[in-house]
Amino acid sequence: MKKYIILPIVLIIAGAFFLISFKSKERAKEDLNIYKNLSGGGNTDLVLPAGFHASLIENNIGEARHIAVTKEGDIYVKLLYPKNGKGILFLKKTVGNKYQVSGFGNYGGTGILLNGGYLYASSNTTVYRYKLNDNDEVTDPEHPDVIVKGLIDRRQHNSKSLAMDNNGNLYVNIGAYSNSCQVEDRVPGSMGQKGCPILDSAGGIWQFKADKLNQTYGDGVRYATGIRNVVGLDWNNQSNSLYVMQMGRDQLHDLFPKYYNAEISALLPAECLYELHRGANAGFPYAYYDQIKKKYMLAPEYGGNGKIESNKNYLPPSLAFPGHLAPTAVLFYTGNQFPEKYKNGAFIAFHGSWNRSPEKQAGFFVVFAPFENGKPTGKWEIFANNFAGTKDVISPRNAKYRPCGLAQGPDGSLYVSDDTKGAIFKISYNK
Amino acid sequence: MKKGIFYVSILAIPLTVVSLGMKTSEPEKDESANRIQFVQKNKAGEKIFKQYCATCHQLDGGGVPNIAPPLIQTKYVLGDKNTLIHIVLNGFNEDVEIDNQHFSNPMPPFKSKLSDKDVANVLSYVRSSFGNDASAVTASEVKAIRSGK
């Protein structure tokens, strides 16, 4: 009998040792312990802080990427692929909480925003602009202005997300059409291309004029580089600067198993929030940010092994989240409905991971990060959770909903879109 | 006490399987040998699948929406073996529709990573897993495609 008792004891001791020596890694994992400190949430499955409630206002409208809400409370939705030939949906409020759905724009894409009497929307190559009437309805849906065209679309990371500042500038993400600029993309062991040529036309944020027609690369400015792929970005009026959420590289373990085990690869590298000013460089593809070591590390494609720090001065992240959670939207909250702590802070939608295997997938939530004077305080918490409808997401297909876009309504409510089948949630506060 | 029984029974399972296998294999020696070989081949294929394919196509072969396609009853998995072998050797990065969806990531080429036998094993595994029921792929079929014949 003794033998059978010794084995568990040995396992427990080994386990304890493991826990102590990997405490910081465990702490990084703890950030993903997503069900703490949250209470019930309204008439959906969402889990929200006390006083908040959510309602599902529309469902099955198509893969809803970014959204914009007008001062009337109507909603523009950009669909990833056109549905019945319509890539932009207009959800017009009717009586009660019902919406009348119509559509236009025969192209798929991600970006959409309202600014200065216009609706801006993007396909994966082009940014369009539609004139609005006084009720924020598009006047001529068939004839938008072409603001920017000819942006690179090589399938991978091809969405063009949009933001605007208060000086008539439009910011467009152009994602790198590669995981890490390997000679052979995503082939195990393939090394990085010298002087990564992708950065000439992608892997950064480009700035264009919001009111100039038919611009292309030559008319724009590469505003910031070394940024692998951004889907979520927003202008911060307090700091007067652009904040973006980068999607960090995938597959450290798959591609360089001798340097990274599957467990660490499920956590690294960080998904980083950056405050960008012109000329910023966030290190892609040469380096990645390790949120456990709190340092930029040399990418394995460029001579790294998980232990060698980068010796370049890349832009430090404003916040660093666990890896692979796939941030798809950033929204600075300027409304008056939510409690004081939310004012001017950032909501960040995390679409949920696909490459944490063999660990469970994570994300599928909306985070809140408080800001003071245009800078994050360093803290963050999960604000709206359980879009997936289960804790056990082995594959992202197990998630019922995946939050993608965020928008603020005229009454200060927060709208969240889902790009699985296309749901729109409205989150409000009433003590 | 209960734990002891637990460990004993865990050990007992493979022993039972082995002894059962030995008993039933006696009458039809040849067929059973084939079966064991097939199971072993799939074990090898499963290992390669987990190491090289599962991140994108997922452990259950269901894929990732908009990123990587499912390997469940698709025309590529069940269809012409030469095309299938070609995809694994040379990669695949075209705007095609698979199961009425599009997928934006590239499929990397594996010709420098996987031997003819590896490719045969992993494709045989894929074609007989996730609800697929198609014939095995052989190393010589892979060799023919690799050498451009």
The pLDDT tens digits of the residues spanning A130-157 come to: 999 999 999 999 999 999 999 999 999 9
**Quick one: which H or E segment has residue B126?**
helix B116-127
Tell whether A337 is covered by a domain.
yes
Q: Which residues in chain A are contacts of B4 at CB distance < 8 A? A: 1, 4
**Which residues does chain A have with pLDDT short of 70?**
1-43, 431
Please indicate, yes or no, if residue A46 is contained in any of the structural domains.
no
Residue (of B127, B46, B130) closest to B85 by Cα position? B127
Residue A14 inside a domain? The answer is no
Query: Closest partner residue to B108 among A63, A187, A357, by Cβ?
Result: A187
- HEC string of chain A equals CHHHHHHHHHHHHHHHHHHHHCHHHHHHHHCCCCCCCCECCCCCCCEECCCEEEEEEECCCCCEEEEEECCCCCEEEEEEEEECCEEEEEEEECCCCCEEEEEECCCCCCCEEEECCEEEEECCCCEEEEEECCCCCECCCCCCEEEECCCCCCCCCCCCCEEECCCCEEEEEECCCCCCCECCCCCCCCCECCCCHHHHCCCEEEEEECCCCCECHHHCEEEEECCCCEEEEEEECCCCEEEEEECCCCCHHHHCCCCCCHHHHCCCCCEEEEEECCCEECCCCCEEEECCCCEEEECHHHCCCCCCECCCCCCCCCEEECCCCCEEEEEECCCCCCCHHHCCCEEEEECCCCCCCCCCCCCCEEEEECEECCEECCCCEEEEECCCCCCCCCCHHHCCCCEEEEEECCCCCEEEEECCCCCEEEEEECC
**Test the B interface: residue of A1, A2, A3, A4 with most B CBs within 10 Å:** A4
Q: What is the per-residue pLDDT for A82?
A: 96
Residue B115: predicted pLDDT:
97
Domain ranges of chain B: 43-146
Residue B104 to residue A157, Cβ atoms within 8 A: yes
Note whether residue A303 is domain-resident.
yes
Total number of residues shown for chain A:
431
Instruction: Quote the pTM value.
Output: 0.88
pLDDT given for residue B14 in this prediction: 44
What residues of A are in the B interface, CB distance below 8 Å? Answer: 1, 4-5, 7-8, 63, 80-81, 155-158, 184-189, 250-251, 254, 354-355, 357-358, 394-397, 420
Instruction: Please name the member of A4, A355, A396 whose beta carbon is closest to the beta carbon of B3.
Output: A4
- Could you read off the pLDDT tens digit of each residue along chain B, which spans 149 residues? 344 444 444 444 444 433 433 333 333 445 555 555 556 558 999 999 999 999 999 999 999 999 999 999 999 999 999 999 999 999 999 888 888 888 989 999 999 999 999 999 999 999 999 999 999 999 999 999 999 85
CATH of the domain at A325: 2.120.10.30
Given this structure, which CATH class describes domain B43-146? mainly alpha
Predicted complex ipTM: 0.85
| pLDDT for res A26 | 57
For A208-250, what is each residue's pLDDT tens digit? Answer: 999 999 999 999 999 999 999 999 999 999 999 999 999 999 9
User: For residue A29, is it within any domain?
Assistant: no
Nearest CA in chain A to B101: A81
pLDDT at B23: 37
> What whole-number distance in Å separates Cα of residue A226 and Cα of residue B128?
43
Counting the structural domains of chain A, the total is: 1
Q: How far is A281 from chain B (nearest CA, A)?
A: 25
Asked if the structure places residue A37 within a domain, the reply is: no
Which chain A residues are within 8 Å of B63, Cβ to Cβ?
Answer: 397
A133: domain range?
52-429
